Amino acid sequence: MFGYPGLSTPNIQLNDAGKLKHLLTLEGLKPHHIRDILDRADGFINTDTRQIHKQPLLKGKTIVNLFFEASTRTRTTFEIAEKSLGADVINLNVATSATKKGESLLDTIYNLEAMQADMFVVRHAESGAAHFFARHVAPHVHVLNAGDGRHAHPTQALLDAYTIRHFKGVDFSQLRVAIVGDILHSRVARSQIQVLNLLETEEIRLVGPKTLLPHDASAMGAHCFTDIEAGLKDVDVVITLRMQNERMSSARLPSEQEYFETYGITEERLKLAMPDAIVMHPGPINRGVEIASRVADGPQSVILDQVTFGIAVRMSVIAGIMEEQVTSA
Amino acid sequence: MIAITIQQGRLFDPANQLDVITDLHINHGRIIAIGEAPADFTASKVIDAKGMLVIPGLIDLSTRLGEPGLEHFTTIARETKAAVSGGITSLCVMPDTDPVNDTFAVTELIQRRARQAETAYVLPVGALTKGLKGEALSEMVAMHREGCVAFSQANQPVVNTQTLFNAFDYAATHKLLVMMRPIDAYLGKDGVAHRGAISSALGLPDIPSAAETLALARLLLLAEETGVRLHLSQISTARAVEMIQDAQARGLPVTADVAIHNLHLTEFDVADFASFMHVQPPLRSQRDRDALRAGVKAGVISAICSDHTPLMHDDKLLPFPESVPGISGLESLLPLLLALVREHVLTLEQAIKAVTHQPASLLGINRGSLQVGAPADIAIVDLEADWLFNRRQLISAGDNTPFHKWPFTGKVHTTLFQGRVVHQPKLA
């Protein structure tokens, strides 16, 4: 999917019929997979009233939210989505220190399987962890990646695509999207680039200082901009990413203030984008670091819509992956 | 000692430009004649090598054999058996054992275990600095006397440049060979994959090529200044090949080796997070791989090694970044080398000399040839045998190989170490 010559990754997330069995990454999926998920999400929400439609499709099914990395927000939205589908939900926050050894990491999974889990929603600090889980679970168990290291966060990217579609229409082929901030360390950005490419977005720009940009953006199907003004010029969508404190301690940025000065999304800079451009953020926001409060709370911000749509999109993903179990139920 | 005749094999020895179908005779552990047997010679064992290749036993410049430190997992006896099953009869053992091979007592222990096993020639490489910590010099002279053929830091860089300078100066004083992996102490320290398309796309912490070339420049400059005899271990980048070529052209007596997997695999093989592909130095770009191949062809890189690192099952049963880097490589070295010959990447001569007389000559050991009078370390290879490599059938305790189910053509039939048969085909 990145256009590499000779890359033939066996796609372990698809079953023999080409349907999603796990969702680990958007890489290797076809546009119809994405459209199915987004279309199905429409059925779970009234986008005028923002009302979620609860449907007990997964009554009697058990979903384990297995978080090796703390995240209250993501876990909560997953939990709401799972409960809205009528599933039994178990939340497990596993201290990574207890799972330093491979066997005990697997033992955690095997034990939960033995407790009749039907799906794991996994978050882990290492890239590739979701693939690791998918390789080792029993055949009937599904794995949903809720973020692995810097690699992928597919449901976040899907809800972003849903949000863009809501505001900009189903045709992405005329859209210019700028993703601004720490692309290098961002699983969100990697998945966003993939979903935007699958939906044939006109142009995907990655904007930030060289210390936070990936080495080979063209292989990912995106273009790098180190100049914020050039990067924002005439775009239809501005996605800002959260800036972690860690980037200062690891000497990739001098200070939050200097970052805001050079790359922060201000009202002034936003004027460079199209007049009807929308501003997005995966949350939680650092006001005055990556985004000015007046922009975050301003008329072009759709940040809270993302949160609500996220529930419907996650319901859609979960119901889609467990479809066979749904229909047989 | 039994007298052996290897009958009608194709004797192939780049050291002596030998490529002829004839008999080879062995007595008292040495090669005593090629062609006609001496008048008083009677073979007590005849090995029919018709249609097979008879080459010097392979010399592997970088291996880890488990002892001391991992006796509960594997032993020198077991790993040397794995080696000879792959035609390797001489093995350099890296000093990153537990305890580190930084005193003659540890060197002696390794030698004793190897002598007890009596399966292959084990050549300990001593630690350049105590504990590989890069702070104090180890007793190189005493360890050399005990049998260390060279001194190395394994995967540990020496941070303090003055200490590195002193270590080189001291080694040069005693004309000792130093084998160094060019690794920068900080750049790419937490990386697990080559800085390129795949690390960008998968979000894996990366190791830039400059992590190697920076360290290489430092090593080359210090070698030039101190006059130490420097060998560069397991280089992985195109730029490093150029830099070594330049240094050699200027007359600096530096040599280099490459791990066989870096001649076959690239960063793309990491694309599905297969932890068996996690190695150090990392699998780099296709351009790097091609430059390494060209470097072997041109003689800039004079040796190819397995960089054998047997790992416990749990070490690889982890998400890619958390898994331990390394490949159990003894049993795939020769088949992978022959694959390069079949693919016309290397000639048979280029391939064989990179694992026989070239590593022997850089170590200064009397091995790696079929010279009359030399120790009879010999591999007899069936070049036509088709087989599937299977990690469940390895003799090594480490089943960590990325080459599982690779089809190979060419298999070791019989291996002799000092005139004794140490590996032969299982009776059907």
Of the listed ranges A18-32, A85-99, A180-194, A202-216, the least confidently predicted one is A85-99
Is the pTM value of this prediction over 0.90?
A: yes
B-chain CB neighbours of A9 within 8 Å are 271-272
Nearest to A144 by CA among A166, A119, A165: A119
Check CB contact under 8 Å for A190 and B318: no
Chain B: nearest CA to A193, how far in angstroms?
10
Find the closest chain B residue to A24 by CA distance: B272
As a whole number of angstroms, the distance between CA B44 and CA B241 comes to 48
The pLDDT score that the predictor gives to residue A326 is: 61
B-chain CB neighbours of A187 within 8 Å are 203
Two structure tokens written together for A74: 């993501």
Check CB contact under 8 Å for B203 and A105: no
For B54, list phi and psi in degrees, rounded to 5. -115, 115
Residue ranges with strand state E in chain A: 45-46, 51-52, 62-67, 88-93, 119-124, 142-148, 176-180, 203-207, 223-225, 237-240, 278-280
pLDDT higher than threshold 60 for residue A1: no
Using CB atoms, which residue from A106, A151, A185 is nearest to B202?
A151
Q: How far apart are the first and last CA of chain B?
A: 27
Catalytic residues of B: 307
**ipTM of the shown complex:** 0.85
For A255, list phi and psi in degrees, rounded to 5. -165, 160
CA torsion through residues A207, A208, A210, A213, sign: negative
Nearest to A199 by CA among A232, A214, A177: A177
A-chain CB neighbours of B203 within 8 Å are 127, 149-152, 185-187, 190
Nearest to A284 by CA among A303, A297, A302: A303
Contact B334, B382 (CB under 8 A): no
Contact B401, B329 (CB under 8 A): yes
Chain A: nearest CA to B214, how far in angstroms?
19
The neighbouring-strand residues paired with B9 are: B22
HSE-CB at B380 with a 13 A cutoff on CA atoms is: 27
Mean pLDDT, residues A180-191 taken together: 96
**In the block, residue with structure tokens 């560069």:** B232
Nearest to A204 by CA among A172, A171, A244: A172
Cis before A10? omega within 30? no
- Number of Cβ within 10 Å of residue A43's Cβ equals 12
Q: Write the CA distances from A34 to A12, A78, A155, A170, A194, integer angstroms.
A: 17, 19, 11, 12, 11
Chain B: nearest CA to A5, how far in angstroms?
9
Q: Does A214 touch chain B (CB under 8 A)?
A: yes
Nearest to B245 by CA among B291, B180, B307, B184: B291
Residue B291: strand, helix, or coil: helix
- For residue B68, count CB atoms less than 10 angstroms from its CB and return exposed for 0-12, middle for 13-18, buried for 19 or more: middle
For B182: left if phi > 0, alpha if psi spans -120 to 50, otherwise beta; the answer is beta
Q: Does A103 touch chain B (CB under 8 A)?
A: yes
Contact B11, B370 (CB under 8 A): yes
pLDDT (tens place) for every residue of chain B, 428 residues total: 689 999 999 999 999 999 999 999 999 999 999 999 999 999 999 999 999 999 999 999 999 999 999 999 999 999 999 999 999 999 999 999 999 999 999 999 999 999 999 999 999 999 999 999 999 999 999 999 999 999 999 999 999 999 999 999 999 999 999 999 999 999 999 999 999 999 999 999 999 999 999 999 999 999 999 999 999 999 999 999 999 999 999 999 999 999 999 999 999 999 889 999 999 999 999 999 999 999 999 999 999 999 999 999 989 999 999 999 999 999 999 999 999 999 999 999 999 999 999 999 999 999 999 999 999 999 999 999 999 999 999 999 999 999 999 999 999 999 999 999 999 987 65
- Mutation target for B interface from A210, A216, A218, A223: give the one with most B CBs within 10 A: A216
Q: How confident is the model at residue A7 (pLDDT cuts 50, 70, 90)?
A: very low
Convert the pLDDT of each residue in A274-301 to its tens digit.
999 999 999 899 999 999 999 999 999 9
- Mutation target for A interface from B187, B204, B283, B322: give the one with most A CBs within 10 A: B322
Two structure tokens written together for B269: 């093989």
Contact B362, B335 (CB under 8 A): no
The long-range contacts involving B284-291, CB below 8 angstroms and separated by at least 24 positions, are: B284/B194, B284/B196, B284/B209, B284/B236, B284/B237, B285/B194, B285/B196, B285/B197, B287/B238, B288/B194, B288/B209, B288/B236, B288/B237, B288/B238, B288/B262, B289/B262, B289/B263, B289/B264, B289/B265, B290/B238, B291/B237, B291/B238, B291/B241, B291/B242
Find the closest chain B residue to A101 by CA distance: B314
Nearest to B421 by CA among B57, B50, B14: B57
Beta-carbon contacts below 8 Å between A and B: 88
The pLDDT score that the predictor gives to residue A325 is: 65
Q: What HEC string does B98-115 produce?
A: CCCCCCHHHHHHHHHHHH
Nearest to B118 by CA among B411, B427, B377: B377
Mean pLDDT, residues A312-319 taken together: 98
Residue A60: strand, helix, or coil: coil
- Mutation target for B interface from A126, A136, A156, A224: give the one with most B CBs within 10 A: A126
